[in-house]
A and B are shown apart, each in its own frame.
Chain A
Amino acid sequence: MKQGNNRRGITLIEITVGVLIIGVIFAVVFNIFGVGLRGSHKGMAHLTIMEGAAILLSQIEYDLLRAYALTDPADGAADKDARWEIFTDDSSGKGIVMYNLLNDGIERTLEIGGTANKHVYCRGLKVGLKFHHISLPDPESSVRKVGMWVELSVATPEKFGTAEQFSMKRLIICKNIQNPL
């Protein structure tokens, strides 16, 4: 009986070894989880900027398809801001659209009949945008086809020394503009 009583409990060494083993297993598991979570956060950040870039580029494309005059940038020039005259769906039928690059997004202003409607795209993100006004003569139809080469990059704010970035380049034809040669 005495022998049995002596072996009843757990010794400090056994507890220490047990805690150490659990600690090692937890460290490995949490490390793998950490890598997975970082990958997940990175993926979410990338999805956010991709979605932001796609929405902004769709809006720019829609505006350029309705444009009948490209005021800024001028033909052959490139600029980060833009100003175009476009056809609209309302009774006045015409309006002015402007894009202005901000520190954390890009502001689109639509002016119709003296009233300005503003909206900020990619809010909180770093946006890089460049519009190249291009044109190409078409000798067959005696008109100059006009378009815009848009370079867009959207990035997340830097966090823990890393930032996600997504870039797109798009050639868009302004079908409502056909300047004579």
Chain B
Amino acid sequence: MKSITNAKRRAFSFIEILFSIICLGILLVPIFNMFRQGTRATTQNRNDILAQQHASNLMSYAFFLPYDHDFLKVSAPRDTGSFQVDFAGKTLDLGMEDGQFKRTIEVSEIKPADWKYAYKIVTVIVRWQESNGLNRHVKVAGLVAK
């Protein structure tokens, strides 16, 4: 009779198998998360570098220009996402190929009466949204003197 009772308990029940699969799944979740976080960090690094590049290019262009150039007119933040510039007949595309970035430039002037020189503060901000919905930005500011 004892052996018959043992024979009834020889296999795993459905609940036991289900429980073990759930445990396995829970153990695997952090490992998969690790992979996903690695990919996300790489994308964030890439976006950081590109945003910095877009901001630096616009700032360099601002430094290239004469103080009273139209591009450096005093203004609230204005969109400079895509535009081309002409350097003595050579056209360069200073726009941003990646549609995820938004770039603005703001120019303000400091010109006290008793100062010998006039200054313009040029502020470039590049904004973008990460794949996880996080809003990020890079801000670069510089001075142009007359």
A29 to chain B, nearest CB (A): 7
Query: Do B89 and A76 touch across chains, with their CB atoms under 8 A apart?
Result: yes
Query: Do B87 and A135 touch across chains, with their CB atoms under 8 A apart?
Result: yes
Query: Do A40 and B89 touch across chains, with their CB atoms under 8 A apart?
Result: no
The prevalent SS among residues of B at the interface is helix
For residue A3, which residues in chain B have a CB less than 8 angstroms away from its CB? Answer: 3-4, 7
Query: Do A168 and B53 touch across chains, with their CB atoms under 8 A apart?
Result: yes
Chain A 122-181 interface residues, beta-carbon cutoff 8 Å to B: 132, 134-141, 145, 147, 149, 166, 168-173
Chain B positions near chain A (C-beta within 8 angstroms): 2-4, 6-7, 10, 21, 28, 31-32, 35-36, 38-39, 41-42, 45-46, 49-50, 53, 56-57, 60-61, 63-68, 87-90, 92, 94, 146
Question: Known contacts A3-B4, A40-B35, A136-B87: does B45 contact A50 (CB below 8 Å)?
Answer: yes
For residue B53, which residues in chain A have a CB less than 8 angstroms away from its CB? Answer: 168-170
Query: Do A139 and B66 touch across chains, with their CB atoms under 8 A apart?
Result: yes
In the complex formed, the residue of A with least CB distance to B17 is A21
For residue A132, which residues in chain B have a CB less than 8 angstroms away from its CB? Answer: 90, 92
9-residue interface stretch from A31-39, A87-95, A101-109: A31-39
17 contacts between A and B (CB under 8 A): A4-B3, A4-B6, A8-B3, A25-B21, A29-B28, A36-B36, A50-B49, A134-B88, A135-B88, A136-B87, A138-B65, A138-B66, A140-B67, A149-B92, A168-B53, A170-B53, A171-B61
In the complex formed, the residue of A with least CB distance to B89 is A76
For residue A141, which residues in chain B have a CB less than 8 angstroms away from its CB? Answer: 66
In the complex formed, the residue of B with least CB distance to A75 is B88
Query: Do A171 and B39 touch across chains, with their CB atoms under 8 A apart?
Result: no
Chain A interface residue count, Cβ-Cβ cutoff 8 angstroms: 41
For residue A147, which residues in chain B have a CB less than 8 angstroms away from its CB? Answer: 60, 64
B119 to chain A, nearest CB (A): 15
A54 at the interface (CB under 8 A from B): yes
A5 at the interface (CB under 8 A from B): yes
In the complex formed, the residue of B with least CB distance to A32 is B32
For residue B46, which residues in chain A have a CB less than 8 angstroms away from its CB? Answer: 46, 50, 166
Query: Do B42 and A46 touch across chains, with their CB atoms under 8 A apart?
Result: yes
For residue A33, which residues in chain B have a CB less than 8 angstroms away from its CB? Answer: 31
Query: Do B88 and A76 touch across chains, with their CB atoms under 8 A apart?
Result: yes
CA A39 to CA B90, docked complex, whole Å = 40
A55 to chain B, nearest CB (A): 11
Question: Known contacts A136-B64, A140-B68, A149-B92: does B57 contact A169 (CB below 8 Å)?
Answer: yes
Query: Do B87 and A134 touch across chains, with their CB atoms under 8 A apart?
Result: yes
For residue B10, which residues in chain A have a CB less than 8 angstroms away from its CB? Answer: 7
Query: Do B92 and A171 touch across chains, with their CB atoms under 8 A apart?
Result: yes
A47 at the interface (CB under 8 A from B): yes
Query: Do B38 and A39 touch across chains, with their CB atoms under 8 A apart?
Result: yes
Query: Do A171 and B60 touch across chains, with their CB atoms under 8 A apart?
Result: yes
For residue B45, which residues in chain A have a CB less than 8 angstroms away from its CB? Answer: 47, 50
Query: Do B66 and A140 touch across chains, with their CB atoms under 8 A apart?
Result: yes
For residue B49, which residues in chain A have a CB less than 8 angstroms away from its CB? Answer: 50, 54, 168
